[in-house]
């Protein structure tokens, strides 16, 4: 399903996101447009709490390409997802 694919895309992106050395916390709202085969067609930051987090998110989005392909039965030539990435220190 589209919801399962969206979750798979989020999980795939996580290891590609670097945490800033200055330990800044915040969030970034991103948008990804993916082709059925998993190639990144478009990636952008919609809003961010800090310019450094914005840059790190874009680096992660690019390095994570290619993403998981559409699962069997998922229709359409592309998928458009938006979600929030949180940069938070784990205590």
Q: What is the mean pLDDT of residues 48-65?
A: 97
- Chain mean position to CA 17: 9
Which of 39-43, 79-83, 85-89 shows the lowest mean pLDDT across its residues? 85-89
Structure tokens at 32: 């990804």
pLDDT in tens, 2-55: 999 999 999 999 999 999 888 899 999 999 999 999 999 999 999 999 999 999
Instruction: Report the SS3 class of residue 57.
Output: helix
pLDDT at 89: 81
Range of the domain at 29: 2-87
Measure the CA–CA gap between 70 and 2, rounded to whole angstroms: 8
pTM of the shown model: 0.91
CATH number of the domain to which 62 belongs: 3.30.1150.10
Q: Is the pLDDT of residue 90 over 80?
A: no
Q: How many domains does the chain have?
A: 1
């Amino acid at each position: 399903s589209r919801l399962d694919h969206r979750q798979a895309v989020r999980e795939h992106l996580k290891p590609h996101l670097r945490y800033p050395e200055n330990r800044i916390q915040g969030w970034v709202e991103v948008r990804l447009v993916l082709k059925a085969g998993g190639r990144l067609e478009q990636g952008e930051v919609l809003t961010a709490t800090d310019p450094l987090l914005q840059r790190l998110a874009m680096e992660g989005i690019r390095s994570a390409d290619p993403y998981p392909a559409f699962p069997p039965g998922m229709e359409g030539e592309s998928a458009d997802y938006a979600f929030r990435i949180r940069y938070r220190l784990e205590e």
